[in-house]
Amino acid sequence: MVKCSFCEREAVARIPYARLNLCKTHLEEYLLKKLGKTITRYRMIRRGGRIVVGVSGGVDSVSLADMLDKLGLFKLLVLHINLGIGEYSGKSAEIVKRFSEERGLDYFIIDLRETDLSIPQVKAVVKKRSPCSICGLVKRYILNAFTLDVGYEAVATAHHADDLIIYLIKGFITQDSTALEKLAPVNAEIPGVAARRIKPFYEFYKSEIEDYARAGHLPYIDFHCPFKYVGWMEDAIRDFVEKIEREAPGFKISLLRAHAKRMLQKPQRASEKPTICRSCGLLSSGSECSFCRLTRRILGYPAGLSVRRYIISEYFAGNRVQIQEPP
């Protein structure tokens, strides 16, 4: 039996970069402390802030909601997007509902089938793009719109160091500055058009999140989405990064910290004059945002504004809030 580095109990996790073996109690204590420090280090959100947490039902996002809840410093609202991917989505929605109810957390589920934008429906029309890139676009749009429209201060997602490092290196290779900016631990809000985005797991390894979830018997979906697609470049980068991490534990975090520092030195989004989508009124890189352009192809019209209206009317159920019409 491997003993915990702090007590006599059996260790359930090994943290290589800190050279620690931890029992369930000390793992929880260690990771909650680390979460609090990460939020403070990057000034993600004030104490008492209102956070929408995107929870897919997977191990990462359920663990994030669980840890933020245990920290007890914020007002949380769990948002689940039912992507309409058969059994996978059905089970994921059930898990999020059960988890939120057991915890007494506010939650809201958006069902994309009700807007004719489920991932299988979208994929049937847009054949050339990978389902994950379309799915990511749709999820980002909804997380942003929902957070703004229900009046929360930030949206938290469970991106962790093992995935972020791959996109970071890919961004360097392809010189994609927009992608690199999105990989900062915090993206400042632009009032009315872009919600503050935070990544509290910025310095977390997937293995520690999984150890935490297993030790705490958290519910999460344990099979992969049937559309999961990993590109050859991501695969090659992952192999390369894992080799370095084995030789130099902590390498991923060092590189991500260096990136965060560089991003913090750049002017924040809030100081720029934003470009607004002419169809839905939210942040865009051109005259129409990518979600409105995508939905124009699928449904024959840009659906941003109608999706926002649908979400809001469902959320407030009869007590509609006003959405700012685009100019």
> 280 touches which of ligand SF4, Zn ion, none (CB within 5 to 8 A by kind)?
Zn ion
Report the C-alpha gap between 182 and 165 in whole angstroms: 12
3 state SS for 166-228: HHHHHHHHHCCHHHHHHCCCEECCECCCECEEECCCCCCCHHHHHHHHHHCCCCCCCCCCCCC
135 binds ligand SF4 (CB under 6 A): yes
Q: Which stretch binds ligand SF4 (CB under 6 A): 93-101, 130-138, 230-238, 287-295?
A: 130-138
279 binds Zn ion (CB under 5 A): yes
Torsion of CA 219, 69, 252, 165, to 10 degrees: 70
Backbone angles phi, psi at 77, to 5 degrees: -135, 115
Q: Minimum CB separation from ligand SF4 for residue 136, in Å?
A: 6
63 binds Zn ion (CB under 5 A): no
**Cβ atoms 305, 279 nearer than 8 A:** yes
Residue with tokens 């260096």: 258
294 binds ligand SF4 (CB under 6 A): no
Kindly tell me which residue out of 6, 108, 167, 227 binds ligand SF4, with binding defined by CB under 6 A.
227
> 131 touches which of ligand SF4, Zn ion, none (CB within 5 to 8 A by kind)?
ligand SF4
Alpha helices in 220-266 (DSSP H): 232-247, 251-265
**Cβ atoms 154, 146 nearer than 8 A:** no
90 binds ligand SF4 (CB under 6 A): no
Q: Which stretch binds Zn ion (CB under 5 A): 66-74, 98-106, 185-193, 286-294?
A: 286-294
83 binds ligand SF4 (CB under 6 A): yes
Query: What SS3 state is found at 170?
Result: helix
Question: What residues from 165 to 194 belong to the interface with ligand SF4 (CB under 6 A)?
Answer: none
310 binds ligand SF4 (CB under 6 A): no
Kindly tell me which residue out of 132, 137, 215, 218 binds ligand SF4, with binding defined by CB under 6 A.
132
Which has the closest alpha carbon to 201: 212, 188, 190? 212
Question: What residues from 13 to 52 belong to the interface with Zn ion (CB under 5 A)?
Answer: 23, 26
Q: Minimum CB separation from ligand SF4 for residue 98, in Å?
A: 19
Q: Minimum CB separation from ligand SF4 for residue 87, in Å?
A: 13
Q: Residue 90 has which token pair?
A: 């059905």
Query: What SS3 state is found at 107?
Result: strand
Q: Minimum CB separation from ligand SF4 for residue 158, in Å?
A: 12
Report the C-alpha gap between 15 and 26 in whole angstroms: 12
End-to-end CA distance of the chain: 66
119 binds ligand SF4 (CB under 6 A): yes
Give the interface with ligand SF4 as residue ranges (CB under 6 A).
Answer: 83, 119, 131-132, 135-136, 225, 227-228
Give the interface with Zn ion as residue ranges (CB under 5 A).
Answer: 4, 6-7, 9, 23, 26, 277, 279-280, 289, 292, 304
